[in-house]
Structure 1
Amino acid sequence: MTFVQMIDCKTDRVDELNRLLDTWVEQTRGRRTATHSLLAQDRSDGTHVVEIVEFPSYEDAMRNSNLPETDRIFQEMVALCDGMPTFTDLEVIRDEQLHKDVCARFFTEALPGDPGLLDGLLTRDYHDHDPANSPDVIGVEALRREVAMWRDAFDFTFTLEDQVAEGDRVCTRWTWEGTHKGEFLGLAPTGRQVSMTGTTVHRLHEGLICEGWWQYDRLGLMGMLGALDM
């Protein structure tokens, strides 16, 4: 279970504290067990600073604490603070990455299942960048027509292989599998089982997907459909 350590302190030397943490990151490279570190400053009291450090588990946090560099940096941190920093140890009981959930529903529910769900997942002016489409597809209704073209041609599903979220972006690596049941780009239905892999980066705004960039193996798909046979 993920473990989080929160370090709360008071200091008017925030810039020095920030540089000190840079030193810790550099000196523990390749040996630290922390996976995420965040330093935050109180908007109403600039001397109130909180560092939040995430670990895969409590045991990993303890191994990190036992690094000689961690102990040395902590002593230097104490010297920058007004009094001893306080520690809060937290076992994470819920970690819901909302942007990733929205994008997952886009692939696994809206595209292969109910395109009506797009209204609750996309902004009205959604902008889709697909190298196979020129000009870009813009707007929910335009994307719904694009999805309908794929659904008329294939019964398909997406399997999400990886998702990485940072800020307002979510990157999803996926595998698409389908049965060619209808005309696709002039090709009569073949009944063939086909698949392709791809990656999509989505940008979100206020909890909705507002932009998407696609990269996928359409050439490989056309080959499986027999369009490239000599």
Structure 2
Amino acid sequence: MTETDVSEAAKAVVRRNTEEVQGGGDYALYDELFADGFVDHTPQPGRTPDKAGALELYKVLRAAFPDFHAVIHWQAAEGNLVTTYKTYQGTHEGEFFGIAPTGKAIRFENVDAMHVVDGRITEHWGVANLFSRMEQLGARPGG
């Protein structure tokens, strides 16, 4: 298998996670795509940096934003390390980080890198525009 083949296969795994698990709520697929020893190097507040913590975050997001989904703008891979730039979107219909439902539509940018080994996501690093997300919901951090 060439490095291009490895990169394309890794990108497909990450795309499935984004579209089918995050966007579609397919948690059975989550279990298939994430390695048991998965490590999140940038976990969200209140979440553990493991497979269970990432799944909990996905479920919290879908409960708060039932139509939660992402638009992938681009993906790049070096071997089995995939970087994705995407915009998440959803309508705030459930409690989220202590904020009661507002009915507001939100959009926020995210860049993440995921390491894929043998078809399973083993590591994650991410940067999300959390300030924008909270501001859109009417919550201003620190104010």
Match among 33, 58, 68 for residue 147 of structure 1? 58
State the percentage of identical aligned residues: 31
CA deviations over 1:41-75 (Å, ceiling 9, x no partner):
xxxxxxxxxxxxxxxxxxxxxxxxxxxxxxxxxxx
Alignment match, 2:106: 194
Alignment match, 2:28: 116
Alignment match, 1:165: 77
Q: What is the distance in 1 between the residues matched to 2:80 and 2:45?
A: 24
Contact 2:43/2:49 (<8 A) preserved? no
CA deviations over 1:180-205 (Å, ceiling 9, x no partner):
00000111000000000010100111
Q: What is the distance in 1 between the residues matched to 2:21 and 2:63?
A: 15
Does 2:78 correspond to 1:138?
no
**Is the alpha carbon distance of 1:146 and 1:131 closer, same or farther for their aligned partners in structure 2, counting shifts above 3 Å?**
closer
Q: Root-mean-square deviation (CA), in Å?
A: 2.2
Contact 2:43/2:54 (<8 A) preserved? no
**1:170 corresponds to which letter in structure 2?**
V
Gaps of 5+ in 1: 1-37, 39-93
Displacement of 1:142 = 3.0
The structure number with the bigger radius of gyration is 1
Alignment match, 1:213: 125
- Counterparts of 1:27-176 in structure 2 under 5 Å? 97-113=8-24, 114-130=26-42, 132-133=44-45, 136-139=48-51, 141-155=52-66, 156-176=68-88
Contact 1:168/1:205 (<8 A) preserved? yes
Q: What is the distance in 2 between the residues matched to 1:183 and 1:158?
A: 20
Contact 1:131/1:215 (<8 A) preserved? no
Aligned length: 136
Contact 2:48/2:54 (<8 A) preserved? no
**Is the alpha carbon distance of 1:147 and 1:103 closer, same or farther for their aligned partners in structure 2, counting shifts above 3 Å?**
same
**1:181 corresponds to which letter in structure 2?**
E
Contact 2:47/2:56 (<8 A) preserved? no
Query: Which protein, 1 or 2, shows the higher relative CO under an 8 Å CA cutoff with sep ≥ 6?
Result: 2
Displacement of 1:132 = 3.2
- Report SS of the residue matched to 1:97: helix
Gaps of 5+ in 2: none
Contact 2:47/2:53 (<8 A) preserved? no
Contact 1:178/1:195 (<8 A) preserved? yes
Alignment match, 1:4: none
**1:146 corresponds to which letter in structure 2?**
L
- Report SS of the residue matched to 2:135: helix
**Is the alpha carbon distance of 1:125 and 1:175 closer, same or farther for their aligned partners in structure 2, counting shifts above 3 Å?**
same
Q: TM-score, normalised by structure 1?
A: 0.55
Q: TM-score, normalised by structure 2?
A: 0.86
